[in-house]
Amino acid sequence: MRQVADMGGTTPGSSERLALLAHGPVATVYAVSHVDRPTALKVYPARFDRRTLTAVERELALLRGLVPPARILLIDGIERMEDGRHALRMELCAQSLAALVERAGALPPDDVVVLGYALASALAAAHDAGIVHGGLSPANVLFRASGEPILADFGVHLREVFPRDPLHAIEFVSPETLRAGTVDEHADLYGLGAVLHLALTGSSPHPRELGEQPGERVLRVLAGPAPALDLPGVPAELSAVIGKLMEADPANRPPDASWVAERLADLLPQQPSASPSQDDFDVVPVEARADGQSPDALDEFGLASPEPPPDVRTGPPVAIEPAARPQRRPPWIRYALAGGGVLALLAVAATLVLRAQGDPDELHTTPRMPPPPASAAVPGSVAAVRLELADPIDRGDQVVLNWTSDRTLDYLVVVAGEGEPNRYLFAHRNTTMTVPVDPVRKYCFLIQATDSNQVHETPPKGVRGAVCRK
């Protein structure tokens, strides 16, 4: 390896060969030939500035100093490619939780307990050292070939420097992160709960609905609580822990990750008396796709990987093949996977489709499912929610919208243009928005909002003579 004088780190040696594994939302992941173990190289789209290098190196030093070592995938080094881009080198793992669930379905409750204990312990150690993960998802929960689960891709600063699509994996993002970008220990706990929900049910807490627009999905995630976990054979204590992790209000979540680890420790299944060898398991190689993409749903920090080509690997990463015949189980996640376990999809919030029909001067609103009345009271509240949309202000190529409410809500602006596809714009908690429009088309606008209990909406209002009706 050759040292890089100006920025620190190293550059991949000329004798190493790279094999493309996957393109993530930000980084590109390669398998690298290595004399000791399979290695992954995650290459970012640009070089790190000094501030970023300092932040990454500081976090790495803290993670390496954890005693005892936590179940966290550590960065082996920060390196420079020949074109100047920076990359992170780390161990190449067998697969991710996302890929495992996609291939084999929900995990048995005992395995979810083992997984949850490992992840909660890793988060507890990191939080005690002052480190927040900031992006927990099934794609960065990885497994070594032994079945040991580890948590990968800590890096709040890298997520800020190389932002991804804010709607990426939103079902694993806490409500406060969606609303205000808050990233802290409480947000990590929500992500842990959402990951365990997927592992236990085979489905994300808020699966995408057919035809749903991005803004609609954000509002639905904010409006609806996570589905209750009332599944046959699932210990009530496990369901209760996951439900508490996914409370919408951070104050109602567990006090810290150590609390979660302690509760799950009481549910841990009895471990085998002897650890089996690798030969005791039925394994099949995970093959890379012809287009170079990994079969895993890889996020920008997930390193779950298919088997590298024979010339760049020293040992085969493996995926456990579900089988009907008895198998010896590894000491970590026991891959005796059920084929089903997918939770039924629940329609949590009302969504609207605005479309033109009949009289060209009329733009109608057709609900996909009946929404609650805009004046409906929040359960347990004294007064109904007041939500009012002012008359839109037409400025030619823009329309200015203003609305008011008597309480803090999360807002979605629905835009129906004559002859245009509908638009759904998430306004966060703002009460005004300027919407770009075609200067000659007629438009209708409608505001939907949620208080995390139910969805409210205003009557639609139009500009340029448009008649808006439901």
Taken in order 76, 150, 197, 183, the sign of the CA dihedral is negative
13: in domain: no
Shared domain for 274 and 389, answered yes or no, is no
Shared domain for 114 and 251, answered yes or no, is yes
Strand order in the sheet with 95-96: 95-96, 141-143, 149-151
199: in domain: yes
423: in domain: yes
pLDDT at 188: 97
β-strand pairing of 443-450 with 39-43: unpaired
Shared domain for 447 and 332, answered yes or no, is no
Entry pTM? 0.63
Taken in order 237, 110, 97, 93, the sign of the CA dihedral is positive
Total number of domains in the chain: 2
Domain boundary residue among 304, 325, 349?
Answer: 349
2: in domain: no
List the CATH number of the domain containing 445.
2.60.40.10
CA-to-CA distance for 45 and 84, rounded, in angstroms?
10
pLDDT at 9: 46
Q: Which domain holds residue 298?
A: 94-349
- 293 φ, ψ (degrees, to nearest 5): -85, 145
Shared domain for 343 and 362, answered yes or no, is no
Contact 359, 174 (CB under 8 A): no
Domain boundary residue among 292, 324, 349?
Answer: 349
CA-to-CA distance for 119 and 148, rounded, in angstroms?
11
Shared domain for 302 and 414, answered yes or no, is no
410: in domain: yes
C-alpha distances out from residue 96 to 35, 314, 346, 444, Å: 24, 20, 26, 45
Cα angle 92-97-103, degrees, rounded to a multiple of 5: 105
Shared domain for 242 and 386, answered yes or no, is no
Shared domain for 319 and 341, answered yes or no, is yes
CA-to-CA distance for 168 and 160, rounded, in angstroms?
14
Shared domain for 225 and 177, answered yes or no, is yes
pLDDT at 285: 33
427: in domain: yes
Domain boundary residue among 349, 382, 407?
Answer: 349
**Does 68 sit behind a cis peptide bond, omega within 30 degrees of 0 on the bond before it?**
yes
pLDDT at 319: 35
CA-to-CA distance for 463 and 446, rounded, in angstroms?
12
Shared domain for 295 and 409, answered yes or no, is no
Residues sharing a CB contact under 8 Å with residue 27, sequence separation 6 or more, in sequence order: 42, 43, 44, 45, 162, 300, 301
pLDDT at 186: 97
406: in domain: yes
Shared domain for 305 and 369, answered yes or no, is no
CB atoms within 10 A of CB 231: 14
pLDDT at 372: 40
Taking the chain (470 residues) in runs of 10, the rounded mean pLDDT of each run is 36 66 82 72 92 91 82 91 91 87 91 95 94 92 87 86 76 88 94 96 85 77 79 93 94 96 90 41 34 38 35 33 35 38 21 34 39 41 78 95 91 89 84 93 92 83 88
Shared domain for 250 and 364, answered yes or no, is no
29: in domain: no
Shared domain for 112 and 199, answered yes or no, is yes
List the CATH number of the domain containing 173.
1.10.510.10
pLDDT at 187: 95
